[in-house]
Amino acid sequence: MAAHTSQRIRRFRFERPQKIAAALLFVLLAQCLWIVAHRSLSGTDYQFARCGREIWEKPSPLTGYFTTCGNISDGTLAYRAAGLPLTIERMLMGQASSTSTWEMRHEVGYIHLLLVSLFMLAGLALGGCIWWVTRRLYGDSGGYIALALYCFSPEVVRACTYPNNEILAALGLFALVYTAIGVAHAMQGPVRKWRPRIVLLTVIFGFTAAAHVSTFLLGLLLSLVLMGYLAEGRRSYLPTLLILWVCGALFLLFASYAFHPDAFSYVFRSAAGKLWFSMDAMRTFFSSLSNAATTIAAAGALALYAAIRRSRYFGNTAPLVIAVFLMLLVTTGAKSEPWLWALPFLLTFIAGVYADMLDLPRYRKPFLWITGGLVTTQAVLGLASLPGLLR
């Protein structure tokens, strides 16, 4: 057992690919820290902080409400993520639970950093997931392309620097889909290899449900479709696994409401899970100058995917279909940004197609210049757009 553990530990090496990925993630962190240092706290920030602390520290003083923000229906995770560092800081400083966030602001100079620290961590974790998935699927070049475009996306920097459920939901949905694919592949092997992955997937379902109930429903649908396609010969297990995932996720979601039945019931009584279709978000994202290089890369990848048969395989098709599907969605019952949930899948598709072209000796040199130019352009546009994120 000890020998097996040490062997697994030795498999991880912090070599050149890992160093490049770490450098890109550090650049993303630096952009986030610059925004945090220059952006003032808003009323929404204080609202998330106040209600997040209420969830961790004490019940709402308003009878019949979970917090002073009301009965939260779309997801408690962002409130908890905003409030937890402040609650820990208050306890370490020995302050009373009645100390307001405004009072803490005058005693803790880095309160803004504390407020968004877990959101920045989620953004870094999502970047790490994108790099791990794309590198595993498409090699080093695919991992570098996807991660570089991600780290220089102004939309990602924005989502990491204010309290919101979107970056958490994007992390949960991306991890959920590719963990489900991993479970489907593992189901072709011995049962002992399924169990830890199935438990992990159940936890991810709960995390995603706590971030946004719509994302949980979408993740459940996508997981069942993908596993139904991949788990050949093992599809009879899917109904049992579905029950496990739904029950496990609902239990974790109930826990996120501190086991308050009334507050938890509001998830089912609200319209937070309602979805519809619209092209407005897709049109806005692809028409933005700050996303121009990503837009050109996506258009080029789509043209190559249509023209070159070797690019049309499951590893490229799945993220393309999911990205288009999510880009077309809007939530009608609660404010959210499904296009941001789609971004990791779009970058995965772009990375896959361009990595395929880089694998062809005949096209490798011109595509090195093309991908290098696109990444450089996106980096320039992303850095130039940082002051605009302060407004």
Residue 124: the pLDDT is 98
- Sequence letter at residue 250: L
What's the mean pLDDT in 282-302? 95
Select the more confidently predicted residue: 28 or 10: 28
HSE of 212, CA atoms in CB hemisphere, 13 A:
27
For residue 305, how many C-alpha atoms fall within 13 Å in the half-sphere facing its CB?
A: 22
Q: Which pLDDT value is given to residue 4?
A: 47
- pLDDT surpassing 60 at residue 3: no
pLDDT of 77 reads: 95
The first and second tokens of residue 334, run together, are: 């609660």
Q: Is the pLDDT of residue 151 over 70?
A: yes
What 3-state class would DSSP assign to 217? helix
How many other C-beta atoms are found inside a 10 Å radius of the C-beta of residue 97? 12
Contact by Cβ (8 Å): 309, 261: no
User: Is pLDDT larger for residue 328 or for residue 105?
Assistant: 328
CA R_g for the chain: 22
Say how far apart CA 105 and CA 383 lie, in whole Å.
Answer: 29
**3-class DSSP state of 153:** coil
Ramachandran angles phi, psi of 277, nearest 5°: -115, 140
Question: Which residue did the predictor score with more confidence, 186 or 61?
Answer: 186
Confidence of residue 364 (pLDDT cuts 50, 70, 90): very high
- Paired with 330 in beta bridges are 276
Residues 220 and 246: beta-carbon distance below 8 Å: yes
Residue 318: pLDDT over 90:
yes
> Quick one: pLDDT band at residue 107, thresholds 50, 70, 90?
low
Question: What percent of the chain is modeled with pLDDT above 90?
Answer: 64
DSSP letter (8 states) at residue 99:
-
- Under a CB-based contact definition with an 8 Å cutoff, are residues 207 and 253 in contact? no
Tell me the average pLDDT across 337-352.
Answer: 97
Closest Cα to residue 302, out of 347, 238, 350?
A: 350
Task: Give the C-alpha separation, 176 to 170, whole Å.
Answer: 10
DSSP states of 15-68: -HHHHHHHHHHHHHHHHHHHHHHHPPP-HHHHHHHHHHHHHHH---SSTT-SBT
Contacts of 52 (CB under 8 A, 6+ apart): 78, 79, 80, 81, 82, 83, 84, 86, 87, 163
Average pLDDT over residues 134-158: 96
pLDDT band at 117; cut points 50, 70, 90: very high
pLDDT band at 5 (very low <50, low <70, confident <90, very high): very low
What's the number of CA atoms in the CB half-sphere (13 Å) around residue 71? Answer: 16
User: 23-27, 68-72, 305-309 — which is least confidently predicted?
Assistant: 68-72
What average pLDDT does range 129-138 have in this prediction?
A: 96
Judged against a pLDDT cut of 60, whether residue 239 lies above it is answered with yes
Confidence at 215, pLDDT banded by 50, 70, 90: very high
The mean per-residue pLDDT over the stretch 277-298 comes to 94
pLDDT above 70 for 178: yes
CA 79, 85, 88: angle at the middle one, nearest 5?
Answer: 120
Strand-pair category, 329-331 with 275-277: antiparallel
Q: What percent of the chain has pLDDT over 70?
A: 91
Q: For residues 106 and 130, is the Cβ–Cβ distance under 8 A?
A: no
At 67-77, the pLDDT tens digits run 888 778 778 99
pLDDT at 120 over 60: yes
| Mean of pLDDT values over 174-190 | 91
Is pLDDT above 90 for 133?
A: yes
How confident is the model at residue 1, as a pLDDT? Answer: 44
Q: How far is CA 166 from CA 87, 161, 273, in A?
A: 22, 12, 14
- pLDDT at 100 exceeding the cut of 90: no
